[in-house]
Chains A and B, each alone.
Chain A
Amino acid sequence: MTRIVIVGAGPAGIAAADALSAAPVEVTLIDEAARPGGQLYRSPAPGLKLDMSRLLGSSHGAYAAFHDKAAGLCRRLDYRPGTLVWSIHGGAVHLASASGAAALPYDALILATGATDRIMPAPGWTLPGVFTLGGAQALLKDQGVAIGRRVVFCGSSPLLYLAASQYLRMGVKVAAVIDSTPFAAKLRALPDMARAPATLAAGLRAMAELRLGGVPIHQGARIERFEGEERLAAVQCRAGAGQLVRIACDAAAYGHGLRPEAQLAELAGCELRYDPVQRLHLPVIDGDGRAGERLYIAGDGGHIGGGQAASLSGALAAAALLDDLGLPASDVDRAGSRRSLARLRGFPNGIAAAFRWPREQVVALADDTILCRCENIRVGEVRAALRQPMASPDANRIKAVSRCGMGRCQGRFCGPALAELVGAGHAGELDRLRAQAPIKPLPIALAGEAAP
């Protein structure tokens, strides 16, 4: 029977699995996490008494509906949690899990790998106590653990107000929200944002909740420094009017928007194209998620659009796949889903304006700021590599010379800032680090032992 592999059990992957459930195909659903949900619908570890309805507030309904559906699907499917797809090669996904390494050939592949935080390095950003926004949320939802007792949420991201309001609901002191995008820019992006009314409403609700809870919100404030000796003690920012504000805290959640996790897409043969608005390389996909031969991409791993868009795009990708294989069509309302998806994803300018990536900050960073936290490479070292004669402004070359992006994360977190630094002074498109397997560290123990 035709084997379909879906990578990722978040809203996109589950919607795709659901749309394939009646089709004459064998579906394997692979997920790195122990339980379905992705980042958006991440659920507490078993045995943990965490009041998710309190944590999620009004979005708890969607969470509960997702998990109802996912639980049923995962029972029926070949569902493989706790499994990393570390490479895609020769028409097979290559898996690593507690039970070892394995290759699984596929007839068609749906990648629903989601997104991660885009990080702008700032002085002190690697101090213990500084987390990504996504990381702060993950710890709370998964482990019921807050990243600190007095937490600053900062940067600019759809996750900023959301994560802060979740912490507030769970009784954590939110010391401040520092939004690096000015309020005026947010207002200007409103008409665009209104095309996704549910997302906008959730954002506005979170903001109102924080204000009601007495949380100071600084808009249009630039993050100057994460301050502390052994660990984070305060966040310094320069408010819109120019005065320096120092907010004492023991933890900070930080991020500037989201970046598709596109490494697997690249290894599977999908073309990536530079998007000048988001200043990222994005997978090239059609309206239904077709990304190459036998390859489909759904959810935020293709285009950042949030949970609702992820779910629609998962169903559409599954429908496109069935069409392409000449299998009986699923009952997905293609026309309606395409319209909704186009509406939800159709405002990259709005997203980019409302959650601004402060690219000019990279150029202004002091030489001693750490850029690559895995290899401990500072901005000045990358600049020195760029200044060398015969150093082409090519991100992969600068990586090889400076070691920025050569560590455990392979540039997943420093990559966007490195690209800005390499591209500084050039009007053209930014460069990017090429993906190579393993996309995340591969335990050597999985290889077993061979006779040499």
Chain B
Amino acid sequence: MSGLEHFRAENAVDAEVAIVGGGLIGCMTAHELRRRGRSVLVLERGLLGGQSSGVSFGSLRLQGQHAPELPLALHAQALWTEVETLIGESVEFAGHGHVHLAVDDAQEARLAGNAEHGRAFGLPIELIGRQEAIRRWPFLGASVRAASFSARDAVVNPRLVAPAFARAAQRLGATICERVEVLAARHDAGGFALQCRDRDGAERTLRAEVLVNAAGAWSGTLAGWFGETIPLFAAGPAEMVTEPVPRFVEPTMHVVDGSVLFRQTSRGNVVIGGHPRMSVDATTRRTRVPPDKMLTNLGRLVAIAPHLRAYAVIRSWTGIEGYLEDMMPVLGPSATTPGLFHACAFSGHGLQLGPAAAKALAELITTGATALPIAPFGIGRFSAEGRRQVHSLAEEFQDDVLHRPG
């Protein structure tokens, strides 16, 4: 019985835990909760992994990850190496490492800083001079001054992740509903009541003891129903892919400021990303990569890998991601409502942090505590001390994102 049929069946699907949002965080959390024997219901308005989960570059990045996230990121990376065994299907995990590149003195200093920072957390990062970099990756262009290599960094195919975890959760007994929208939710003595509507317009109210807000860029709305504010904004990555190219590189190549990054899939296609992120329309949920942005990123690409000039780009895409200005997620219990947990606004880091975030959440829900390092991500951080910025946001976002109205 599919999720939707289950949803429409006469008996209400009441679950111990209802998860709003079928992105990778929702699906991974459902899977972790089923492993711990909780009954779980995932409600996804569109298709599983249809927004930020499915459209990202696919990077599982440790090198350069900022301090508050790195401990959780390291836990997540260890879990990622076991994911395919755990869920019994491929998500095209490739542990070829990431190379960060510097094209000027400031960037070279940044490589050294990242390496030192990584070592402090037990992450080995190798610093590589230009000559050695050219020896290992002969395609590199003249502008590359230095490199650093982190062997533990990896990639997956993001399109496969959320559906694969949903299937794994479903095999363990979770109920997963696509095209079911949660219109409103309230908390009362009996737990949570969720007013839902399916694709045919049929409405019904579902009940759950615990509610997980994994609604990505739309999670602010759900938080608002319970008197909480998550000051998130929407933005999107600019992604492209080339036609198949003869194999030339194994690790992901990443100019250290994120202005361009690329990786080659096993089929030969080169996936290309590049900051800053763009403004997107979270209301219509339809966004495209502007052509000038594509050309800019391709110009940066050929500065790093000149031989790619001979090939063609065949597709571009983006999606809608939820960001917070401190570039960290909200992960943990609600400050207003017992039984409500937030796992959202991952600020572009959800794919990498996902397995550890889901594990932490499942532990919190089932035992009331977790040993995983999620303290920096509490929703309380927005109330008292105001917004903290740990990153240069100008590097991360276009002006139209940073100077958005409201």
Contact = CB atoms under 8 A, between A and B. Distances in A.
A joins B in a complex: yes
Contacts of A442: 294, 312-314
B255 A94 contact: no
A445 interface: yes
Interface stretch (A195-203, A288-296, A344-352, A433-441): A433-441
Contact of B167 (A94, A389, A410, A445): A389
Contact of B47 (A86, A397, A444): A397
Contacts of A447: 294-296, 298-299, 301-302
Contacts of A438: 294, 313-316
Given A388-B167, A436-B288, A444 B309 contact: yes
Interface string A423-452: 000000000000011100111111111111
B155 interface: no
Interface string A403-425: 00011101000000000000000
Contact of B300 (A392, A407, A450): A450
B242 interface: yes
B243 interface: yes
Interface in B302-361: 302-304, 306, 308-317
Contacts of B65: none
A391 interface: yes
Given A89-B291, A390-B166, A392-B47, A445 B310 contact: yes
From B166, B300, B304, name the one whose CB has the most chain A CB atoms within 10 angstroms.
B300
B230 interface: no
B159 A445 contact: no
From A101, A392, A438, name the one whose CB has the most chain B CB atoms within 10 angstroms.
A392
B52 to A, nearest CB: 14
B105 interface: no
B166 A86 contact: no
A83 to B, nearest CB: 14
A392 B242 CA distance: 27
A445 B314 contact: no
B243 A450 contact: no
A23 interface: no
Contact of B299 (A392, A437, A450): A450
A25 interface: no
A448 B163 contact: no
Nearest to A406: B315
B290 interface: yes
A272 B160 CA distance: 28
A247 B259 CA distance: 57
Contacts of A392: 47-48, 178-179
A90 interface: yes
A103 interface: yes
Q: How large is the interface on A (under 10, 10 to 19, 20 to 34, 35 or more residues)?
A: 35 or more
A438 B48 CA distance: 26
A443 B312 contact: yes
A397 to B, nearest CB: 6
Given A390-B48, A441-B312, A451 B303 contact: yes
A418 B316 CA distance: 21
Interface in B151-177: 159-160, 163, 166-167, 170-171, 176
B288 A390 contact: no
Nearest to A399: B159
Given A267-B288, A389-B167, A437-B288, A449 B314 contact: no
B131 interface: no
A442 B312 CA distance: 5
Interface in A76-105: 86-87, 89-90, 94, 101, 103
Contact of B292 (A103, A401, A446, A452): A103
Nearest to A389: B167
B289 interface: yes
B299 A449 contact: yes
A444 B314 contact: no
Nearest to A376: B267
Contact of B163 (A94, A390, A446): A390
Smallest CB-CB A-B distances: 9 pairs: A450-B299, A447-B298, A441-B312, A94-B291, A452-B300, A400-B159, A445-B309, A87-B291, A447-B299
Interface of B: 2-3, 47-48, 50, 54, 103, 143, 159-160, 163, 166-167, 170-171, 176, 178-179, 242-243, 255, 259-260, 267, 288-292, 294-296, 298-304, 306, 308-317
28 contacts: A86-B291, A89-B288, A89-B290, A267-B288, A389-B2, A390-B176, A390-B178, A392-B47, A406-B315, A407-B243, A408-B243, A437-B288, A437-B291, A437-B294, A437-B316, A438-B314, A438-B316, A441-B314, A444-B301, A444-B308, A444-B313, A445-B310, A447-B295, A447-B296, A449-B306, A450-B296, A450-B300, A450-B303
